[in-house]
């Protein structure tokens, strides 16, 4: 793997294609997001489930792997969806055999969710394949580069989260979902 990156943008005096700029970084990020979205779509298709269902399975598998239990309320919070949406999602996952409900031993009215045996093994295979291949690429980076990339991606995440928060605030401020006109 080479550390030299070439671009379509003309370089300074170093010649054509020798300099990377911010636009090249953002284009690479977009290409990665597109590729990752396609991989997630293929995983969902392999399991026959939707996006939130795949996220839910991943959360349940991660919790079980680390020895934690998950209930519907926690799943709703982690997915950022309503209790009603979570209930419908869990019902679909139970019907399709991907999730099982078990009584909570600590709360007689509570229910613990877990990925079912065969579904969990299939989901783990699909998720682990992608995770393993991406981890192999990341492990080849020098430590200093990893720190720079993590900082960059954390900042990008903050920018996107701020934009989403600003939109939500603007949509809720006038009650009808429309942004109020600014006064001059």
What is the rounded distance in angstroms from the CA atom of residue 96 to the CA atom of residue 48? 9
DSSP annotation of 67 reads T
Residue with the bigger pLDDT between 142 and 182: it is 142
Strand, helix or coil for residue 98: coil
Q: Are 37 and 29 in contact (CB under 8 A)?
A: no
pLDDT of the residue at 57: 87
Residue with the bigger pLDDT between 102 and 6: it is 102
Strand, helix or coil for residue 109: strand
46-100 pLDDT, tens digit each: 878 888 998 898 899 888 888 999 999 999 999 999 999 999 999 999 988 889 9
Q: Which residue has the tokens 């055999």?
A: 97
CA distances from 140 to 2, 136, 149 (A): 11, 7, 13
Residue 147: Cβ-neighbour burial (10 angstroms; 0-12, 13-18, 19+): exposed
98-152 pLDDT, tens digit each: 899 999 888 888 899 998 867 667 767 777 787 888 899 999 999 999 999 999 9
Phi, psi dihedrals of residue 69, rounded to the nearest 5°? -105, 160
pLDDT of the residue at 119: 63
pLDDT of the residue at 157: 92
Q: Which residue has the tokens 């969990």?
A: 120
pLDDT at 153 over 90: yes
Longest CA–CA separation in the chain, Å:
72
Query: Confidence class of residue 11 from pLDDT cuts 50, 70 and 90?
Result: very low
Query: Confidence class of residue 183 from pLDDT cuts 50, 70 and 90?
Result: very low
Q: Are 39 and 31 in contact (CB under 8 A)?
A: no
Residue with the bigger pLDDT between 179 and 23: it is 23
pLDDT at 184 over 80: no
pLDDT of the residue at 44: 84
What is the rounded distance in angstroms from the CA atom of residue 158 to the CA atom of residue 153? 9
What is the rounded distance in angstroms from the CA atom of residue 74 to the CA atom of residue 59? 10
């Amino acid at each position: 793997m080479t550390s030299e990156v070439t671009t379509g943008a003309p370089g300074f005096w170093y010649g054509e294609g020798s300099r990377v700029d911010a636009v090249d970084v953002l284009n690479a990020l977009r290409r990665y997001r597109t590729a990752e979205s396609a991989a997630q779509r293929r995983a969902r298709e392999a399991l026959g489930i939707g996006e939130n269902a795949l996220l839910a399975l991943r959360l349940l598998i991660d919790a079980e792997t680390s020895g934690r239990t998950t209930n519907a309320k926690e799943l709703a919070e982690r997915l950022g969806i309503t209790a009603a949406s979570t209930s419908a999602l869990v019902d679909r996952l139970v019907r399709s055999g991907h999730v099982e409900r078990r009584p909570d031993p600590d709360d007689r009215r509570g229910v613990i969710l877990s990925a079912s045996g065969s579904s969990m093994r299939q989901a783990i295979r699909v998720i682990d394949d992608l995770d393993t291949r991406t981890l192999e690429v990341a492990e080849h980076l020098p430590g200093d580069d990893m720190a720079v990339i993590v900082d960059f991606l954390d900042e990008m995440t903050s920018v996107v989260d701020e934009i989403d928060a600003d939109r939500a605030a603007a949509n809720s401020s006038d009650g009808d979902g429309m942004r109020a006109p600014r006064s001059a």
